[in-house]
Amino acid sequence: MEVWPVRVFTVSELTSRIRDLLEGEFYEIWVEGEISNLRSPRTGHLYFTLKDDRSQIRAVLFKLQRRYLKFDLEDGQQVICWGRVGVYEKRGEYQLIVDYVEPKGIGALQVAFEQLKERLASEGLFDEERKRPLPLLPRRIGIVTSPTGAVIRDMLQILRRRFENVEVLLYPVKVQGEGAAEEIAEGVTYLSERGDVDVIIVARGGGSLEDLWAFNEEVVARSIYRSRVPVISAVGHETDYTIADFVADLRAPTPSAAAELVVRRKEELRERLSASVRRMEVAIKGTFEVKGERLKGLEGKVMAYNPVVRISSLYDEMKKKLKRLEACIEKTLEAKSSRLREQMGKLDALSPMAVLARGYSITWRLPERRIVREGKEVEVGDLVEVTLAKGGMRCGVKERW
């Protein structure tokens, strides 16, 4: 009988051949399945099993690739993995080495959004009870946004139109891209800790989920939560929602709407003051009526007693109470009037005309008619216009410092 020559493989040779075949054939592949047995040891790698209803395969996502993961992996998630097959020759095992993971049927960013939203809500960052009202008349408004573009221009225009005396402090930041979230968080923290900012607006124009993602980062949410002053979130369009919206004390549908919400018109403030005066008048009148009816009752009781001594005693008591009542009413009226004068004085003090009346002036550089705040903003020979409390003048610059 003829014996055919055969080749005998060692275990190492066979395993090496299997490795070459698998790693060469399945180098860049997409694999779909359900995550189970997820483990995250101290090394920072993620180990899990990817399975379907008939089979399963071990998988690993190394620490380097894990940094680019937009959401947290969980047991039971249906995912699509991109990677390659690797063979561990010492144990004769193969596994899927994953380089990229995305959820099946929903974007990674949307999953990350929902996961962070659920976690922060469970910590109480969205609770309505902790949210603060906006100040009635803020003296200084802090804005965290890009220093260029239509957003900041529109907001400043609205703020000046509604109340030109309000002071605005801009903290310029990137509103998308790498490092944007950290800059936004730093801006909120800085304005909050200054001590002279009454309210903060975090603003950005519209965009996709990816464009707005900086406002969905945890570092931004934490900075808004820790702010010492109220924060308005004005990110995107009315239909756009970010994590910052849920944490902020107030959500504005657009940046322009935020500018309108934070500053009331002078006419509205005057109406509120007038309403306060009317309420005080009604309260004082009611006090008079109640006390008057009580006096009538006392008079009736006095008349019901015939003894002269009793009548005299009650009469004296009535006069004392009347004096106390008059003193109380007078004190109340004086306090209310003083508060009203104080509020009216504050309102008048904010008027530009009041500032001009004290001897100040406003200088405009011509022809662009731009307000001059520093001497270096004009050159010798420039034409300027000076507005006074009464009248004004046009002048040429002969010297500056």
Rounded-to-integer distance, Cα 50 and Cα 10, Å: 31
What's residue 115's pLDDT?
A: 85
pLDDT tens track of the chain, all 401 residues? 555 557 777 778 787 888 878 777 788 889 988 888 999 888 889 999 998 889 999 999 998 888 888 788 888 888 889 898 988 878 878 899 999 888 876 666 777 888 888 889 999 999 999 999 999 889 999 999 999 989 999 999 999 888 888 899 999 999 998 899 999 999 999 999 999 999 999 999 888 888 888 999 999 999 999 999 999 999 988 888 899 999 999 999 999 999 999 987 666 666 666 666 777 877 787 787 787 778 777 766 656 665 666 777 778 888 888 888 888 888 888 888 888 888 877 776 666 767 767 778 889 898 888 988 888 888 888 899 988 878 889 998 898 88
362 beta partners: 387
The residues spanned by each domain of the chain are 11-104, 108-127+139-256, 355-397
* Angle formed by the axes of helices 108-122 and 218-226, nearest 10°: 30
Largest CA distance in the chain: 154
Contact between 31 and 95 under an 8 Å Cβ cutoff? The reply is no
Rounded-to-integer distance, Cα 288 and Cα 297, Å: 14
Which tokens hold the place of 119?
A: 């976690």
Superfamily name with CATH number, domain 11-104: Nucleic acid-binding proteins (2.40.50.140)
Give the residue among 184, 262, 177, 176 at the shortest CA–CA distance from 223. 184
Instruction: Choose the CATH number for 108-127+139-256 among 1.10.3470, 1.20.120, 3.30.70, 3.40.50.
Output: 3.40.50
Rounded-to-integer distance, Cα 44 and Cα 67, Å: 10
CA dist 323 to 204, 207, 317, Å? 62, 69, 10
Domains 11-104 and 108-127+139-256 share a fold: no
Rounded-to-integer distance, Cα 95 and Cα 45, Å: 14
Rounded-to-integer distance, Cα 348 and Cα 350, Å: 5
pTM here is 0.52
CA dist 131 to 27, 198, 234, 248, 257, Å? 53, 15, 16, 7, 19
